[in-house]
């Protein structure tokens, strides 16, 4: 995909695209959703009921050196190779979130074509309180948010590298973001599914990312090796 233009990127950041406290709860009409799913390998699903979690903090190290998060969605499955060595705290947190079902039943509440898809809020809006804890693991200054990178969302007021449960997958060649977002890993398989989810984004949304239809994470499971 082509790189996001500077004006569009500036607008996205101004609108707080990645802010966990900035969400949208506009739903597509049934007609909109049907027109999308008719041409894509996606199940027609309803917006999930909001969930609440209040978990204790996760382990500071992942359970194994090689971990894959298998993300099953209503549009298919993609796999994330967790960065257990470069970002162990964030990888351990992502594993913990998956094991406790925090990511299950969460919608992709923010989809910006040519930029990112974002999910992981149990409240389903991007405004939720998260899992009940936060993790701090600032990324290096030279981190690059390129195609397939999976990073954690945060509010503007939070320090670099802080994360809860919301995550985004970069769909552009270079998102052009500052080194503020903790890296969980990278899509290792099924990027075509990520692109299908991206097709639910509205090019006319002016960077707000309100989806045209509902795409839901059915489950996230962790596989060793």
Q: pLDDT (tens digit, 9 = 90+) per residue, 113-129?
A: 999 999 999 999 999 99
Per-residue buried b or exposed e for 106-140, using 16+ beta carbons within 10 Å of the residue's own CB: bbbbbbbbbbbbbbbbbbbbbbbebbebbbebebe
Q: Cα 75 to the chain's mean position, in Å? A: 15
Which comes out higher in pLDDT, residue 145 or 15? 145
pLDDT of residue 215 exceeding 70: yes
Per-residue model confidence (pLDDT) at position 24: 35
**Taking 50 as the threshold, does the pLDDT of residue 37 lie above it?**
no
Decide which of 28 and 188 is more confident: 188
Q: What is the pLDDT of residues 41-82, one digit of tens each?
A: 899 999 999 999 999 999 999 999 999 999 999 999 999 999
Give the pLDDT of residue 41: 85
pLDDT of residue 39: 55
Mean pLDDT of 101-110: 98
Asked if residue 135 belongs to a domain, the reply is: yes
Distance of CA 189 to the CA centre of its chain: 16
pLDDT at 209: 95
Q: What is the mean pLDDT of residues 14-34?
A: 40
Domain presence at residue 217: yes
Q: What residues contact residue 62 under an 8 Å CB cut-off, 6+ apart? A: 82, 84, 88, 91, 92, 95
CATH number of the domain residue 38 falls in: 2.40.100.10
The total domain count for the chain is 1
- The whole-number pLDDT of residue 205 equals 81
Tell me the pLDDT tens digit for each residue of 132-149: 999 999 999 999 999 999
Q: Is 104 a member of any domain?
A: yes
Residue 16 confidence (pLDDT) above 90: no
Distance of CA 68 to the CA centre of its chain: 16
User: Is 173 within the bounds of a domain?
Assistant: yes
Q: Is residue 1 part of a domain?
A: no
Domain boundaries, position 154 = 6-44+53-224
Q: Indicate whether 145 belongs to any domain.
A: yes
**pLDDT for residue 40:** 57
Q: What pLDDT score was predicted for residue 207?
A: 74
Comparing CA positions, the residue from 74, 44, 68 lying closest to residue 217 is 74
pLDDT recorded at residue 113: 95
More reliable by pLDDT, 39 or 55? 55
More confident of the two residues 55 and 1: 55
């Amino acid at each position: 995909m082509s790189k996001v233009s500077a004006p569009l990127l500036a607008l996205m950041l101004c609108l707080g695209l990645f802010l966990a406290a900035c969400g949208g709860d506009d739903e597509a009409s049934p007609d909109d959703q049907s027109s999308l799913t008719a041409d894509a390998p996606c199940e027609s699903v309803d917006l999930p009921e909001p969930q609440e979690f209040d978990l204790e903090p996760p382990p500071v190290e992942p359970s194994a050196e090689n971990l894959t998060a298998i993300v099953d969605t209503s549009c298919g499955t993609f796999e994330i190779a967790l960065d257990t060595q470069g970002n162990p705290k964030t990888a351990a947190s992502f594993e913990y979130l998956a094991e406790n079902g925090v990511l299950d039943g969460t919608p992709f509440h923010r989809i910006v074509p040519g930029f990112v898809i974002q999910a992981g809020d149990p409240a389903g809006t991007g405004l939720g309180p998260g899992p009940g804890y936060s993790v701090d693991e600032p990324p290096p200054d030279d981190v690059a948010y390129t195609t397939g990178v999976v990073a954690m969302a945060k509010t503007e007021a939070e320090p670099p590298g802080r994360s809860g449960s919301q995550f985004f997958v970069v769909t552009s060649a270079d998102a052009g973001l500052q080194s503020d977002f903790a890296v969980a890993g990278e899509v290792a398989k099924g990027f075509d599914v990520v692109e299908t989810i991206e097709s639910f984004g509205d090019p006319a949304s002016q960077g707000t990312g309100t989806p045209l239809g509902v795409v839901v994470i059915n489950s996230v499971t962790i596989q060793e090796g």
